[in-house]
Amino acid sequence: MGLLGGKRRRRGIWVPARFLLPLLLLLPASKAGAPPSSASPASPRSPDMERQEEEIPPGNFPATRAARLLAHYITAQRGSPSRLFQVPTVLQARREHIPGVGNKYHLKVSLEEALQKSNAVNCTAEILYHHSDPHVAAEVHYTVEGELEINTEEADNKFYNKIKNLSEPLEAQKIPDNYGNMVAEMEPVRHLALVACAYVIWQISTEDTLYNLAQIESVKQVKRKDDYLEFSFVVLLHDMVSQEIIPWHMQVLWHPQHGVKVTQNSRQPKRAAQD
C-alpha cells in the first residue's frame, strides 16, 4: 500500500503511516534529506592567541619600569665613569601583547645624562620582554631625537691615568658604607660599577623585576700588561619589587677609548653579602 494509505513493514515491525510524517518533521535537516555540511563550526579564539595593544598611562609602574630598563641599556652601551643616563619622564607608553613571544612596550621618553644634567632630548624605544624558559634578555631598540651635548673625555682620562699610575692596585669595600657615606675619590669607581651593573640588569631583568645597585661590597683592581683597566666587583643588587638583595660578581674591563665591557658575571651565594 502507499505511504499514507496503509501500513509500512520493516523487518517484521509495522508502523502506522500516520505516525511517520510527524517523526520525519522532527529529524534534523541533514538527516531528512539535506546534504551534510563539510565545514566544522569555528572554535572561539583565545585572547592569548591574538595580538592585543593598549595605551598605558605614562606614570604607571609598567611604563616607568620599562623606561628604567631602557636607561640601563643605554648606560651599558654608552656609559663611563663620568657618564650615566637616566629617563626622567615617560611621555607616551603603549603595550603590545605578542602571542607566544611576550610583551612589547612602545615608549616615548625624555633622556638625559645623569651626572652633568645635560639638556634632555626625546627618545623613542621598543622594549620586548620575552616570556620564555630559559630566560632571554629583553630586546631593546631606541632612537634619540637630537644629540646629548656631553663631553666626558677629560674626566675619563683623568680617572684612567690616576688608576693606571697607582703604586698598589686599587682595593676597597662597601661603597657607599652602610650609612650612605662615600669619599669623593670613590665616586668614579661607583659610576664604573653602575655602568657594569646596567649591563647585568639588562641581561637578567624580566617584566616583573626592577633592579638597582645598592652597594659595592668589594672592588679589587687586577693588574694587566695591556692598556685596559680591569676590576673584580662584588655588588649587591636590590630588586625593588621583591625587596630581595642579591650578591653579584662582575669582572670588568675599561678603557676610555673602548668603553666598559663585562667579561664575566654570576650570582653569588647570599653569605657573600655578610662577609
> What digits encode the pLDDT tens for the residues 177-204?
999 999 999 999 999 999 999 999 999 9
Look at residue 42 and tell me if it is in a domain: no
Of 119, 145, 171, the domain-final residue: 145
Residue 19 lies inside a defined structural domain of this protein:
no
20 pLDDT more than 50: no
Evaluate whether 184 touches 191 at the Cβ level (below 8 Å).
Answer: no
Residue finishing a domain among 145, 179, 205: 145
Residue 241: inside a domain, yes or no?
yes
- Structure-block grid coordinates of residue 46: 583565545
Do 65 and 165 fall into the same domain? no
Q: Could you list the residue range(s) of the whole structural domain that residue 175 is in?
A: 153-273
Statement to judge: residues 203 and 264 lie in one domain: yes
Same domain? For 190 and 126 the reply is: no
Work out how many domains the chain is built from and give that number.
Answer: 2
Residues 137 and 169 in one domain: no
Question: In this prediction, what percent of the chain has a pLDDT beyond 90?
Answer: 75
35 secondary structure, DSSP code:
P
Q: What is the mean pLDDT of residues 221-248?
A: 97
Q: Which of 93, 127, 145 is the last residue of a domain?
A: 145
Q: Which DSSP symbol is given to 25?
A: H
Query: CA dihedral defined by 164, 167, 168, 170, rounded to 10 degrees?
Result: -40
233 touches 193 (CB < 8 A): yes
Angstrom distance (rounded) from CA 121 to CA 250: 31
Strands 102-113 and 85-98: antiparallel
CATH of the domain at 107: 3.10.450.10
Most confident of 50-54, 131-135, 206-210: 206-210
- Tell me, what DSSP letter sits at residue 265? E
Domain for residue 213, yes or no?
Answer: yes
Cis amide leading into 134 (omega within 30): yes
Reference 85, options 40, 56, 121; nearest CA is 121
- 17 assigned to some structural domain: no
Could you tell me if 130 and 168 lie in one domain? Answer: no
Q: What is the pLDDT of residue 39?
A: 45
Q: At residue 110, does pLDDT exceed 50?
A: yes
Mean of per-residue pLDDT scores for the chain: 86
* Residue 12 domain-assigned (yes or no): no
Q: Which residues contact 215 (CB under 8 A, 6 or more apart)?
A: 174, 175, 176, 235, 236
State pLDDT tens for residues 114-153: 998 878 999 999 999 999 889 999 999 999 998 887 899 9
Is 269 a residue whose pLDDT tops 50? yes
